[in-house]
Amino acid sequence: MQKIVVAVTGASGSIYAKLLLTKLSQMKEHISELSLVMTENAKEVWKTELDNEDYSNLNIKTYPKNDFNAPFASGSGQYNTMIIIPCSMGTLGRIAAGISNDLITRAADVTLKERRKLICVARETPYNLVHIRNMETITLAGGIICPATPSFYSKPTTIEELALTVVDRVIDLAGLPVTTFRWGN
């Protein structure tokens, strides 16, 4: 059983967060704790992109972005995985620089120092050299950079199917079982 925290930042790509949270909340046999933290910008982007506030209806324990008493703000909370989806370049840069100015960056710092799984679903295009170097720094520290780059070989026909090509890859990276298109099948 895994303990997972999902963080949602203000980068474009709320559909990825929505689909991931929906899938993870249905995996109760594999996840003992599922926690969520969202920035205020993430809530605004969600409303703009998805035309709803469904993030407030999720049956997931949610923590304010400055709640440093959240269990995943300490290594003793023993969360296995942190997924930041979408991960803004500002958040990525603060993590790479070791700046723990909110719960998301603190939890990412804890995840890296404890040698646990940090998955940053970077959502920006194009990348500049600063972005690339920050991704390199996080990778060298043990994190996983998973760009929100959908695949097309499964022939997705809807925006949701296209976004699920990224979400299913993230679930794979987290070490959870997922039924999805597999190359060669």
pLDDT digits (tens, 9 = 90+) for 45-86: 999 999 998 888 888 999 999 999 999 999 999 999 999 999
- What angle do the packed helices 103-113 and 89-97 form, to 10 degrees? 50
Question: Is 185 contained in some domain?
Answer: no
Among 157, 171, 117, residue whose Cα is nearest residue 139? 117
Structural domains of the chain, count: 1
Structural domain boundaries enclosing 119: 2-173
Question: Is 183 contained in some domain?
Answer: no
Which CATH number goes with the domain that contains 96? 3.40.50.1950
Range with lowest mean pLDDT among 18-27, 76-85, 104-113, 172-181? 172-181
What is the pairing mode between strands 81-87 and 2-8?
parallel
Q: What is the pLDDT of residue 58?
A: 86
Question: Is 115 contained in some domain?
Answer: yes
DSSP state, residue 68? T
Q: What is the pLDDT of residue 100?
A: 94
Question: Is 9 contained in some domain?
Answer: yes
Question: Is 178 contained in some domain?
Answer: no
Which residues, in sequence order, are bridge partners of residue 83?
A: 6, 119
Q: What is the pLDDT of residue 57?
A: 87
Question: Is 26 contained in some domain?
Answer: yes
C-alpha separations of 4 from 73, 127, 176, 181 in Å: 12, 28, 11, 24
E strands, the chain, are: 2-8, 31-38, 61-63, 81-87, 117-122, 144-145
Question: Is 83 contained in some domain?
Answer: yes
Which residues, in sequence order, are bridge partners of residue 87?
A: 122
Question: Is 158 contained in some domain?
Answer: yes
